[in-house]
Amino acid sequence: MDIGWWGVVIAVLGGAIRIGTPFLFVSLGECLTEKSGRINLGLEGTLVMGAMTGYAVSLHSGSPWLGVVCAGLAGMVLGALHSWLCSFQRVNDIAVGIAMMLFGTGLAFFLGKPYIQPSAPRLPSIDLGAWSDIPQLKAALQINALFLIGIIVAIALGWMLKNTAWGLKVRVVGESSDAARALGLPVDRIRIMSTAQGGFLAGIGGSYLSLYYPFNWSEGLSSGQGLMAVALVIFARWQPMACLWVSLLWGGAAALGPSLQSVGITGGYYIFNAIPYIMTLAVMIITCSPRRTLVGVPHELTVTR
Amino acid sequence: MTDRVPPDLQAQGITKRFGPLVALKDVNFRLRSGQFHALLGENGAGKSTLVKCIMGYYHPDEGQILLDQQHVTIRSPRDAQAFGIGMVYQQFTLISNMTVLENLVISRAKLNPIINWQQEEAHLIQFMEKMPFKVSLSARVSSLAAGEKQKVEILKQLALQNRILILDEPTSVLTPQEADEMLGHLRAMTLAQQLSVLIITHKLREVAAFADEVTVLRKGQFVGSGKVSELKVSQMAEMMVGSEITAKPKQRTPRSTSVPKLVLQDIRIKDDLGVEVVRGVHLTIHEGEIVGVAGVSGNGQRELVEVLGGQRPATAGTIRVQDHLYQPTRKKIVRHKMVCLPEEPLQNTCVGHMTVAENLAFRNFDSAPHAMGGWLISRPALRRSAYGLIERYNIKPPYPDTPIRSLSGGNVQRAVLARELSADVEILIVANPCFGLDFLAMEEIRQQIVAVRNRGTAVLLVSEDLDEILELADRTVVMFNGQLVYETTSPAADLAVIGRHMTGHMA
pLDDT at residue B503 above 80?
no
> pLDDT tens for residues B481-492?
899 999 988 666
A187-211 vs A43-61: helix axis angle to the nearest 10?
A: 50
**Cα–Cα dist A241/A151, whole Å:** 8
Coarse DSSP helix, strand, coil percentages of chain A, rounded to the nearest 5 percent:
70, 0, 25
The beta-strand segments (E) located in B106-173 are 164-168
Q: Is the pTM of this model over 0.90?
A: no
Of the pLDDT bands very low, low, confident and very high (cuts 50, 70, 90), residue B440 is: confident
Task: Write the DSSP assignment of A244-258 as a string of letters.
Answer: HHHHHHHHHHHHHHH
| H helix or E strand, kind and range, residue A72 | helix A64-86
Q: Chain-centre distance of CA B205, in angstroms? A: 17
Helix (H) and strand (E) counts in chain A: 13, 2
**What is the ipTM metric for this complex?**
0.84
A164 and chain B in contact, CB less than 8 A: yes
pLDDT at A302: 61
Domain range annotation of chain A: 6-304
Reduce the DSSP state of residue B324 to 3 states and report it. strand
Reduce the DSSP state of residue B130 to 3 states and report it. coil
| Eight-state DSSP code of residue B91 | S
Residue contact A166–B113, C-beta within 8 A: yes
**Cα–Cα dist B397/B22, whole Å:** 19
Query: What value does the mean pLDDT of chain B take?
Result: 86
The closest CB to that of A164, out of B97, B98, B115, belongs to B115
For residue A267, the distance in angstroms to the closest alpha carbon of chain B comes to: 41
Residue contact A182–B93, C-beta within 8 A: yes
The CATH number of B259-337+424-507 is 3.40.50.300
Closest CA to A201 of A253, A149, A129, A138: A149
Determine which of B95, B118, B168 to mutate to test the interface with A (most A C-beta atoms within 10 Å). Answer: B95
For residue A120, the distance in angstroms to the closest alpha carbon of chain B comes to: 41
pLDDT at residue B478 above 50?
yes
The closest CB to that of B78, out of A168, A175, A184, belongs to A184
pLDDT at B507: 46
| Pairing mode of beta strands B85-88, B164-168 | parallel
Cis amide prior to B397 (ω within 30 degrees): yes
Query: What radius of gyration do chain A's Cα atoms show?
Result: 19
Nearest residue of A to residue B312, measured between CA atoms: A291
A286 and chain B in contact, CB less than 8 A: no
pLDDT at A140: 81
Contact list in B for residue A171 (CB cut-off 8 A) is: 95, 97-98
For residue A190, the distance in angstroms to the closest alpha carbon of chain B comes to: 15
Cα torsion at A293, A296, A298, A304 (round to 10°)?
A: -20
Name the β-bridge partners of B293: B462, B477
The closest CB to that of A168, out of B77, B93, B115, belongs to B115
pLDDT at residue B427 above 60?
yes
A292 and chain B in contact, CB less than 8 A: yes
Name the β-bridge partners of B476: B292, B488
A262 and chain B in contact, CB less than 8 A: no
Task: Write the DSSP assignment of A44-63 as a string of letters.
Answer: HHHHHHHHHHHHHHHHHHS-
pLDDT at A292: 61
pLDDT at B18: 80
Contact list in A for residue B76 (CB cut-off 8 A) is: 184
Contact list in B for residue A300 (CB cut-off 8 A) is: none
B360 and chain A in contact, CB less than 8 A: no
pLDDT at A2: 65
First vs last C-alpha separation in chain B:
39
**Cα–Cα dist B371/B379, whole Å:** 9
Which residue pairs from B332-335 have beta carbons closer than 8 angstroms and sit at least 24 positions apart in sequence? B334/B363
Contact list in B for residue A183 (CB cut-off 8 A) is: 106-107
CATH class of this structure's domain B9-241? alpha beta
For residue B110, the distance in angstroms to the closest alpha carbon of chain A comes to: 9
pLDDT at A233: 92
CA angle B53, B235, B50 (to 5 degrees): 5
Task: Write the DSSP assignment of B146-174 as a string of letters.
Answer: HHHHHHHHHHHHHHTT-SEEEEESTTTTS
Determine which of B107, B114, B276 to mutate to test the interface with A (most A C-beta atoms within 10 Å). Answer: B114
pLDDT at A120: 84
**Cα–Cα dist B337/B421, whole Å:** 10
Q: Is the dihedral of CA B500, B502, B506, B507 positive or negative?
A: positive
Question: What percent of chain B stands above pLDDT 70?
Answer: 95
For residue B77, the distance in angstroms to the closest alpha carbon of chain A comes to: 7
Closest CA to B275 of B299, B293, B249: B299
Residue contact A165–B274, C-beta within 8 A: no
Domain range annotation of chain B: 9-241, 259-337+424-507, 347-423
pLDDT at A200: 97
> pLDDT tens for residues B378-393?
888 899 999 999 998 8
CA angle B263, B267, B270 (to 5 degrees): 150
Name the β-bridge partners of B31: B9
The beta-strand segments (E) located in A8-110 are none
| H helix or E strand, kind and range, residue A200 | helix A187-211
> pLDDT tens for residues B246-302?
555 677 777 766 889 999 999 999 887 778 899 999 999 999 999 999 988 778 898
Determine which of B97, B302, B311 to mutate to test the interface with A (most A C-beta atoms within 10 Å). Answer: B97
pLDDT at A305: 47
Average pLDDT over residues B186-209: 89
- Judge contact between A39 and A97, C-beta under 8 A: yes
CATH class of this structure's domain A6-304? mainly alpha
Nearest residue of B to residue A163, measured between CA atoms: B115
**Cα–Cα dist B25/A240, whole Å:** 54
Residue contact A172–B95, C-beta within 8 A: yes
B76 and chain A in contact, CB less than 8 A: yes
B102 and chain A in contact, CB less than 8 A: yes
Of the pLDDT bands very low, low, confident and very high (cuts 50, 70, 90), residue B1 is: very low
Residue contact A163–B106, C-beta within 8 A: no
- Judge contact between B285 and B262, C-beta under 8 A: yes
Per-run averaged pLDDT (10 residues), chain A, 305 residues: 76 91 96 94 95 95 95 97 91 92 94 87 85 82 92 96 94 89 87 96 95 87 88 90 94 88 78 87 77 72 59
B158 and chain A in contact, CB less than 8 A: no
pLDDT at A70: 96
Reduce the DSSP state of residue B215 to 3 states and report it. strand
Average pLDDT over residues B47-60: 88
More confident residue, A57 or B331: A57
Reduce the DSSP state of residue B455 to 3 states and report it. coil
**Cα–Cα dist B483/B476, whole Å:** 14
- Alpha carbon separation from B343 to A193, B229, B275, B436 (Å, rounded): 39, 37, 22, 11
Q: Do domains B9-241 and B259-337+424-507 have the same CATH topology?
A: yes
- Judge contact between A194 and A136, C-beta under 8 A: no
The closest CB to that of B107, out of A183, A295, A298, belongs to A183
Residue contact A165–B114, C-beta within 8 A: yes
| H helix or E strand, kind and range, residue B405 | none
Determine which of A160, A171, A305 to mutate to test the interface with B (most B C-beta atoms within 10 Å). Answer: A171
Reduce the DSSP state of residue B470 to 3 states and report it. helix
**Cα–Cα dist B357/B401, whole Å:** 6
Closest CA to B404 of B462, B362, B343: B362
Size of interface A-B (CB pairs under 8 A): 57
Question: What percent of chain B stands above pLDDT 90?
Answer: 34
Nearest residue of A to residue B102, measured between CA atoms: A168
Determine which of A34, A160, A168 to mutate to test the interface with B (most B C-beta atoms within 10 Å). Answer: A168
| Eight-state DSSP code of residue B5 | P
Which amino acid, one-letter code, is at B181? E
